[in-house]
């Protein structure tokens, strides 16, 4: 009768979790929020913050809740987007746990806060993790790499770079975000032109910031645009994956 055989089979229930890749730029370096695990497995090792989905809760709500619990900051002021699901059956020794990773981006936050869950959290530069000098629990290194690649890509095509900045910010602040996340130096004058030419990227507020040294810089707020057209390319002539012929 029914042709949809796949619907008849009783669904296997699995535990579903959310893990967060929370990025910020501190001291000119890209950093990620990690917690030190208090329980087995991977006790004492660094891991991405996360937790299980609750009944009646969307994954976005889980991510926002965990973000608040881990950082003490409401997610309203942060950029939050879904990365993807990780489902290797043996990715967690405790059993079958599928996790949906989220990418969160915010300005250099006042962290951690004692007396909250966030007290186990700490900002860690991303480079030593990529270089395997710091090991992460579970498959969190892979998730981190995917999150970094997403963040780098989003800098090209969207205005999320402003989510890294505390308002108001200068064009140089914004440029340093790109330099930290992409890991390449950018020409200040050309960068400035590209940002100002893109309508809706930033909005001048008519004030200036006095630096310790040098000429005062104009201050800006985020604009309303979310998509960069045209994209702000990282290294115009990159390499292709493979050759042939």
Partner DNA sequence: ACAAAAGTGTTTCAGATACACCCATGT
Partner DNA sequence: ACATGGGTGTATCTGAAACACTTTTGT
Q: Which residue has the tokens 């959290």?
A: 121
Query: Three-class SS of residue 35?
Result: strand
Interface with a copy of itself, residue 168, by CB under 8 A: no
Q: Toward a copy of itself, which CB reaches closer, 86 or 178?
A: 86
Interface with DNA, residue 167, by CB under 7 A: no
Q: Which stretch, 30-38, 122-130, 165-173, 182-190, contacts a copy of itself (CB under 8 A)?
A: 30-38
Cα-based angle 184, 190, 196 (whole degrees, multiple of 5): 115
**CB of 214: closest distance to a copy of itself in angstroms?**
27
Interface with DNA, residue 4, by CB under 7 A: no
Cα-based angle 232, 26, 33 (whole degrees, multiple of 5): 100
CA 145 from centre of chain: 11
> What value does the CA radius of gyration of the chain take, rounded to a whole number of Å?
21
Using CB under 8 A as the binding rule, the residues of this chain from 178 to 207 that contact a copy of itself are 198-200, 203
CA 106 – CA 80 distance, rounded (Å): 9
What character string, x for contact with DNA (CB under 7 A) and - otherwise, covers 177-216?
Answer: ----------xxxx-xxx--x----------x-xxxxxxx
Point out which residues bind DNA (CB under 7 A): 170-172, 187-190, 192-194, 197, 208, 210-218, 230, 233, 235-237
């Amino acid at each position: 009768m029914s042709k949809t055989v796949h619907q008849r089979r009783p669904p296997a229930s699995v535990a579903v979790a959310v893990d967060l890749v929370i990025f910020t730029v501190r001291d000119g370096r890209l950093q990620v929020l990690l917690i030190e695990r208090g329980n087995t497995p991977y006790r004492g090792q660094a891991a991405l913050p996360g937790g299980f989905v609750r009944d009646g809760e969307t994954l976005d709500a889980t991510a926002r809740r965990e973000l608040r619990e881990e950082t003490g900051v409401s997610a309203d002021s942060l950029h939050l987007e879904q990365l993807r699901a990780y489902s290797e059956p043996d990715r967690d020794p405790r059993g079958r746990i599928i996790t949906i990773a989220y990418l969160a981006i915010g300005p250099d936050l006042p962290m951690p806060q004692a007396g909250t869950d966030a007290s186990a959290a700490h900002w860690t530069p991303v480079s030593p993790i990529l270089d395997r000098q710091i090991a992460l629990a579970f498959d969190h290194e892979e998730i981190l790499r995917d999150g970094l690649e997403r963040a780098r890509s989003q800098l090209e095509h969207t205005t999320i770079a402003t989510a890294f900045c505390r308002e108001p910010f200068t064009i140089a602040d914004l440029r340093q975000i790109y330099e930290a996340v992409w890991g390449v130096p950018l020409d200040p004058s050309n960068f400035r032109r590209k940002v100002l030419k893109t309508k809706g990227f930033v909005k001048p507020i008519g004030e200036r910031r006095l630096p310790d040294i040098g000429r005062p810089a104009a201050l800006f707020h985020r604009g309303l645009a979310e998509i960069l057209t045209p994209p702000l390319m990282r290294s115009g002539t990159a390499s292709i994956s493979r050759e042939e012929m």
